[in-house]
Amino acid sequence: MRKALLFGLLWLLVLAPVRAHAIIPDNPPTSTYHEDTWDLRVRVINSTTSTYIPSPACSYSIWRGSDLYGNGWMGTDGDYATLSVLFQAYQWVGTHEVRLTCYDNETIVYVDVLPNSQLTFTLSSSYRVGEPIYIYAHYKDRYGSPLGGSICSASLYKNGVFQSNTPLSFSSYYYGTLSPVTSGSHSLEVSCEKTSYTPLTTSETFEVSKPTVAITLDQTTSQGTYGSTISLPFRVAPAGAECMVSYGNLAQASSTSYSTAYTYRATLNFLGDKTVTLSCAATDYTAAFRTITLTATAVRTRAEIGISSSSIYSFQTFYVTPGHYTGANSRITDANCTVVFNGTSHFTPSFQPVGLVAPAGPVATRVEVFCSKYGYELGQKALTLNVLPLPLEGHLIYPASVKQEEPFQMELALNTPNQIPCLLEGRLTTVSGLVVDDLSMNLLAEGPTSLPLNLSNSGVLAFTLTCSSPGYEDYLAEGTIKISVLSQSEGMRATFILALLTALLALGFVLIRRWI
């Protein structure tokens, strides 16, 4: 097996062609400019004798990709085969493959055909719809000098679809403007050409975004009192833009072909600060947002106190009506009011009376009113009330005259169900003015009250009845009662009865002692 394999290899070596010539390029240039001549010199060596072959016979073919540019026989110059090529057609700018065939050998030389001009321009990375694109292009020769008199233009594409173009003017550079009309990915292509120079085209890509709706709002803060309405005018462009607010409402005022005027209105039904977002949008535009700060303060107020009676007496029930008003004298209904009187708080809605009981007079006392409602300042007021003592009225009935030692009663009726302390004071005097006896009695009068009396002496009883209690005016009654002397028969009867009673009393004591 090994012998067969070795034999096969030797047989291949015998059959393989032996190249007797070698092609040696003589430092060929690797590049040239369009419109310039490219020169190539090669020598051919006889591999057997290692000598240069004079006037070598070589052919050539020039390729760019799969396209044949030209072919033929190379010229000779002594030991060199020579080739001079003028790359005149600008479409041949690029890398070329030069295939050389000399006798039984081939080699390839590459040459880059460069443009003899240069074209550059720069753009921003993004634009907005309708925003001008200012183009500044530089078309120069290979030494960097501007190529005036060239034909230059710029073309705008969106996603590869042609949109518009414009010729460029020259002033040491080429300039012009284009404006995108829609958003999205765009490219700008600039082309320049001039006789004897390589026509060039270059492009840049960029993004075009929607323009932002313009909101002209001169005032972004507004202040008012609770419940009031504020108005802020503003203008928005383009004219077809529609706007919304997060609080309040909008009313369209007027419109032109370029913009629309609106009025923003809001009722301040809160206290403190509120941030309102104003947003406006339009087709092919980016929505715009502005913030408006509203400040609402409490409405200034005052409180009033209505009293049901001009004169207030002890223990009397009277009514206090709290009133709550704005500074413009408008009633604030349903406010929560507190009436403080005599150390007690009473709660009631505004303009609703609350019943109070006066303390015992005479006394000066305070009544205070506090009224509050969301959005309004606290209203408060105080009044001093003079509580008068309640008049104490009554009727005292008594006899004009009685007999000596005859029991009798005085009947007292006062206009109050309460117990009233009373003091009866009297003095019994004779007809000649001699003081016989002094009388002093205390009692509690409660409604109709009887006062029993029995006087053992005769004469004239002058008396004074005084009733007084806190919160009441004093009741005073005065009068006289004649106490007549008993007749002889009345005296004897009284003496007999007295003696009988004395005897019976003595007998009772004796019996009791014996029984004990």
pLDDT at 62: 94
- CA dihedral (422, 427, 428, 431) positive or negative: negative
Tell me how many degrees the CA angle 351-354-357 measures, rounded to the nearest 5. Answer: 150
Instruction: Give the chain's domains with CATH numbers.
Output: 18-114 (2.60.40.10), 117-209 (2.60.40.10), 214-297 (2.60.40.10), 301-388 (2.60.40.1930), 394-488 (2.60.40.10)
Distances (CA, A) of 501 to 262, 486, 495: 118, 19, 10
Parallel, antiparallel, or unpaired for β 229-237 and 221-225? unpaired
Report residues of the chain scoring pLDDT below 50.
1-18, 488-491, 494
468 by Cβ neighbours in 10 Å (0-12 / 13-18 / 19+) ranks as middle
Q: Give the pLDDT confidence score for residue 8 in this predicted structure.
A: 35
Q: What is the pLDDT at residue 511?
A: 58
> Does the predicted TM-score (pTM) go above 0.85?
no
The residues, any chain, with a CB within 8 Å of residue 418's CB and separated by 6 or more, are 446, 469
59-78 burial by CB neighbour count: b if 16+ within 10 A, else e?
ebebebeeeebeeeebeeee
pLDDT in tens, 325-362: 998 899 999 999 999 999 999 999 999 999 999 999 89
pLDDT at residue 77, rounded to an integer: 93
For residue 130, the model assigns a pLDDT of 85
Predicted confidence at residue 125, as pLDDT, reads 85
